[in-house]
Amino acid sequence: MRRWLAAALIGCVVTLVACSPPTNEVAVAGTASQSPTPSAGAFIPAVGDCFSVRGSDLTESERVPCSTHHFAEEAFIGSFTGDAAAVGIPPVANSIAMRQAYEQCGAPTQRYLGGDWHSALMQLELEIPGVVAWRAGARWFRCELWASPLDGAQQMVGADVAFRGILAGPTPLSARCITWKGTDTAVHDFEPASCSSPHNGEYVGAYIAPARAWPATVKQQRDIADHGCENLVAQFVGFPSWQALDNPYVGYLQLGFDETQWNMGDRSARCYVAAYTKDGKFVGSVKGIRGRTPKG
């Protein structure tokens, strides 16, 4: 029997499911010579820069030390070239040029952080020049990291520490283990937790959905994320598939897709093992426990 718990979130769908034992830089065709030359003195952000604000056209006066409170940090800077750079306006949302640029963000960002941003309280955003800067010759794109709550809410959240290399070791930004509050119908207030202390869920990975148009209904979005996270969770626990999972204390939580990110090429849903112990908590990792009762 499955149990669904959903949270009313902005931009994503959350599903919590319990298991019952089974019954049986971007290069767009063209040359860089087609790009206008940026105007003298134009500010171009650099990898490792941190800023006190978010937005497309930042200024040098908004750059701050990464050890102080900041809202944006640059993980990679690329350039539009060829046909994408030759047009008179910046690329529009959902365009091939934007998707190609965002695709370039993944590997450099992982190297910059020392790990996968999906496993942390972070969001990876693509920023491009505004119309005025574009007409003045700006052709950069920024792969920018924001500190972000897990629940998809759009409030501004800052950080007081540099992100470079931060996921290579323990960090308060890690969301490997989390707690939440909830009822039989909703879960909310996600917070990072120590894995050695009681927690509701443990991160197992991000499910990347196959390329396709944005699913039209919430049910379609949920079903795609559910099916992906089911198997990731089962394999994390030690079973080959969700259908083979035989541990009534294990369920899953999926933090579903975001339409804007999906259309950019980030078709990821974060997947967590969820506790169905008596108190709804685990202590320690449940990786590889198979049918054993988890510590609770």
Q: Cβ of 197: how many Cβ atoms within 10 Å?
A: 12
Residue 145, beta-bridge partner list:
73, 124
Whether 12 contacts 240, CB under 8 Å: no
Q: Which of 87, 118, 147 is the last residue of a domain?
A: 147
Question: How many angstroms separate the CA atoms of 176 and 179, rounded?
Answer: 10
Q: Quick: pLDDT tens for 230-252.
A: 999 999 999 999 999 999 999 99
Is the confidence at residue 35, as pLDDT, over 60?
Answer: no
Residues 44 and 141 in one domain: yes
Q: What is the pLDDT of residue 78?
A: 96
- The answer as to whether 239 is a domain residue is yes
Is the confidence at residue 201, as pLDDT, over 50?
Answer: yes
Q: Which of 147, 173, 193 is the last residue of a domain?
A: 147
Q: Cβ of 155: how many Cβ atoms within 10 Å?
A: 8
Residues 119 and 226 in one domain: no
Residues 38 and 139 in one domain: yes
For residue 148, give Cα distances in angstroms to 42, 100, 118, 251, 270. 29, 24, 11, 25, 14
Give the global pTM: 0.81
- The answer as to whether 84 is a domain residue is yes
Name the token pair of 184.
């039989």
- The answer as to whether 240 is a domain residue is yes
Question: How many angstroms separate the CA atoms of 205 and 213, rounded?
Answer: 23
- The answer as to whether 198 is a domain residue is no
- The answer as to whether 165 is a domain residue is no
- pLDDT above 90 as % of the chain: 64
Domain containing 135: what range? 32-147
Q: Which of 147, 173, 188 is the last residue of a domain?
A: 147
Q: How confident is the model at residue 14 (pLDDT cuts 50, 70, 90)?
A: low
Q: Quick: pLDDT tens for 102-156.
A: 999 999 999 999 999 999 989 999 999 999 999 999 999 999 999 888 765 556 6
For residue 232, give Cα distances in angstroms to 52, 241, 264. 37, 8, 23
- The answer as to whether 72 is a domain residue is yes
Residues 43 and 138 in one domain: yes
Is the confidence at residue 196, as pLDDT, over 90?
Answer: yes
Phi-psi region at 55: left, alpha or beta (left = phi > 0; alpha = psi -120 to 50): left
CA 31 to mean position of chain CA atoms: 32
- pLDDT above 70 as % of the chain: 82
Residues 143 and 231 in one domain: no
Residues 51 and 141 in one domain: yes
- For the chain, the domain total comes to 2
- The answer as to whether 45 is a domain residue is yes
Mean pLDDT of 18-44: 44
- The answer as to whether 61 is a domain residue is yes
